Amino acid sequence: MARSGWITLAEYSSKFKVSVSTLRRKIKANTAEVLFEDGKYWLRDLDLQNHTPLKVIDPDPKKDAASPQKLSSKKIGPGNLTRLKGDMSSQNIFNVVEKMMDELKRAYIKVLEEKEEQVLIYKSEIADLKTLIRVLESKHAEANASSSAKAQNRPSSWLELDN
């Protein structure tokens, strides 16, 4: 889903020549304007220096506080789990965890598809490189044959030139 004024981490990385890991660190440190939607981070289409430090922006503020996106942006530790248990019934917790698992599965599948695309691109590039190698090797063989033919026509020593 394309959002006006927002780009994905990969697009941002390519456009502004910043590694994805650096972007993730900026997001974790809350020094970048970021939107988290459907398991994907979106950054403002501005240089990082022009970002206003913010927390993760929820694109749909009407969602309830127990939504997977809000839970996934919080650190979950023993204290938080105890609070969650007190606030929610076990069925609600199960539903939230199930939604989070579905979201993780979708993100994982998307990453796998992207990796498969990269593999296909690399295979194509390898085939092109193999073709280039064959062409260069044949040119090299021709050059060697040509130079050895010239060497056979040359005199073997300076003494033969005087005759």
The DSSP-derived string for 44-94 is ESS-GGGPPP--PBPS-TTS-TT-HHHHHTS---HHHHHHHHHHS-HHHHH
For the chain, how big is the Rg over CA atoms in Å?
30
> Would you state the pLDDT for residue 161?
57
Task: Say if residue 9's pLDDT is above 90.
Answer: no
Closest CA to 41 of 138, 51, 126, 149: 51
Task: List beta partners, residue 43.
Answer: 7, 34
Of 5-9, 25-29, 90-94, 157-161, which range is least confident?
157-161
Cβ proximity of 3 and 42 under 8 Å: yes
Instruction: Say which residue, 153 or 65, is predicted with more confidence.
Output: 153
Task: Say if residue 129's pLDDT is above 90.
Answer: yes
> Would you state the pLDDT for residue 132?
96
Cβ proximity of 30 and 24 under 8 Å: no
Find the mean pLDDT for residues 32-52. 80
Task: Say if residue 151's pLDDT is above 50.
Answer: yes
Find the mean pLDDT for residues 136-161. 78
Token digits of residue 4: 């006006």
Percentage above 90 pLDDT, the chain: 27
> Would you state the pLDDT for residue 30?
81
Write the burial class of residue 36 (CB in 10 Å: 0-12 exposed, 13-18 middle, 19+ buried): middle
What digits encode the pLDDT tens for the residues 58-108? 555 454 444 444 444 444 444 444 454 455 577 788 888 889 999 999 999
DSSP 2: -
Of 22-36, 60-74, 123-137, which range is least confident?
60-74
